[in-house]
Structure 1
Amino acid sequence: MNRQEKAQFISDLKGLSGKYPIAVLTRQSGLTVSSISEFRRKVRGVGAQFIVVNNRLAKISFDGMASNGFIDEFRGPCALLFGDDPVGSAKVAVDFADENDGFKVVCAYFDGDVLDVVAVKNLASLPSLDVLRSQLLSLLLASATEFVSVLQAPSRKLVCVLDAYRKKLAKEN
């Protein structure tokens, strides 16, 4: 890489770290091309990007942004997974690491904080953003349904009383 390419790489990494809320740092060794291709396909499925990085240039691009040990973890063959959905991105990385011995999740940079491996795994165990949205929507709809049911209860009772009175009158005649 010449100077211009290095400067462009640093600029691109800074842009990605500003665009996406999470950057998951991974290490990989001994993986086949087909397994990495499979991982990249899964990453694209959650709307994320996976980039193999030059450690020295990655340290320069994250300098000043991640002081809590994130920069120190750039050793060996590293790659970064940038994603819009923190839970989905962490889940893809953790699941792939569980399936492949040569792939390890090291840590993550999430909204200005550095998460260790345990925190990344905890993040991955949360429901996805779509599931959380659907759960919230079902709660809101259930509350609205119950509210309408409570509003209709007095009129329902009145109808039942009137119907019972009608039946009583019908028996008398």
Structure 2
Amino acid sequence: MPTPRKVAMLAEIKSRMERASIAISADYRGLTVAQITELRRALRPAGAEVKVVKNTLAAMAAKEAGREELAQILKGPTALTFGFDDPIAPVKAFTEHLRSKRLNIEVHGGWLEGRVLTRAEVESLATMPPKEQLLADVVGKLQAPLYGFAGLLQASIRNFAGLIEARANQLESA
């Protein structure tokens, strides 16, 4: 029979899994409470939360949340980092914090909107530009042909006007 504490923990993990756009699973062994607290503070501005979970409870929560594939990244002592808005920002903040503090944490993998990611894929996400920059690049690439076409039309009209003016000057002088 489950205890009320475990039921509450299950509900909390399930809620985070339902809202998450990305999750990163990492081994927290070797970190002090102060280091985990510092990691939590570093990830908060990126819209992410770190939660140390029991794998059995997390697997049950994943099943209840309809995200069974999340259970595949639960290995050993697990700290899950959940990102709720932009999926790239938490990964960047997580890897940057690990790199700047020289923390030796093993990343087990990740989950991105229904897809399980390997450690290498999680690390490659950290090198991607932010969402705003990607959108700006797409918009710029869509606008470039339109600007080129508009310039071509203006040049044609300018050339035609110059041709008419030259012909008018020729007729005046004749």
Q: Taking structure 2 as the reference length, what is the TM-score of the superposition?
A: 0.78
Structure 2 residue runs without a partner (length 5+):
none
2: CA distance, partners of 1:33 / 1:166 = 86
How far apart are residue 68 of structure 1 and its match? 7.1
Structure 2 counterparts to residues 25-36 of structure 1, below 5 A? 25-31=25-31, 35-36=35-36
Aligned residue number for residue 104 of structure 1: 106
1: CA distance, partners of 2:59 / 2:71 = 13
CA contact (8 A) 1:106 1:117 kept: yes
Give the aligned length.
168
Aligned residue number for residue 141 of structure 1: 143
Deviation sequence 1:110-154 (CA, Å, 0-9, x none)? 222221101111222222211101111222332332222223232
Give the letter for the 1:16 counterpart.
Answer: R
Deviation sequence 1:10-45 (CA, Å, 0-9, x none)? 112122112112111122244455644443233222
How far apart are residue 159 of structure 1 and its match? 1.9
Structure 2 counterparts to residues 79-94 of structure 1, below 5 A? 79-83=79-83, 84-94=85-95
1:131 to 122, 130, 133: 133
Structure 2 counterparts to residues 1-173 of structure 1, below 5 A? 3-31=3-31, 35-63=35-63, 65-66=68-69, 69-71=72-74, 73=75, 75-76=76-77, 78-83=78-83, 84-99=85-100, 100-165=102-167, 172=173
SS in 1 for 2:69: coil
Give the letter for the 2:110 counterpart.
Answer: A
**Two-structure CA RMSD over aligned residues (Å):** 2.8
How far apart are residue 65 of structure 1 and its match? 0.4
1:46–1:105 CA distance, 2 compared to 1 (3 A): same
CA contact (8 A) 1:50 1:80 kept: yes
Deviation sequence 1:75-99 (CA, Å, 0-9, x none)? 12x2111113222222222222333
Give the letter for the 2:47 counterpart.
Answer: G
2: CA distance, partners of 1:126 / 1:43 = 17
CA contact (8 A) 1:24 1:107 kept: yes
SS in 2 for 1:101: coil
SS in 1 for 2:103: coil
Give the letter for the 2:144 counterpart.
Answer: A
SS in 1 for 2:126: helix
1:46–1:164 CA distance, 2 compared to 1 (3 A): farther
Give the letter for the 1:3 counterpart.
Answer: T
Give the letter for the 2:92 counterpart.
Answer: K
SS in 2 for 1:144: helix
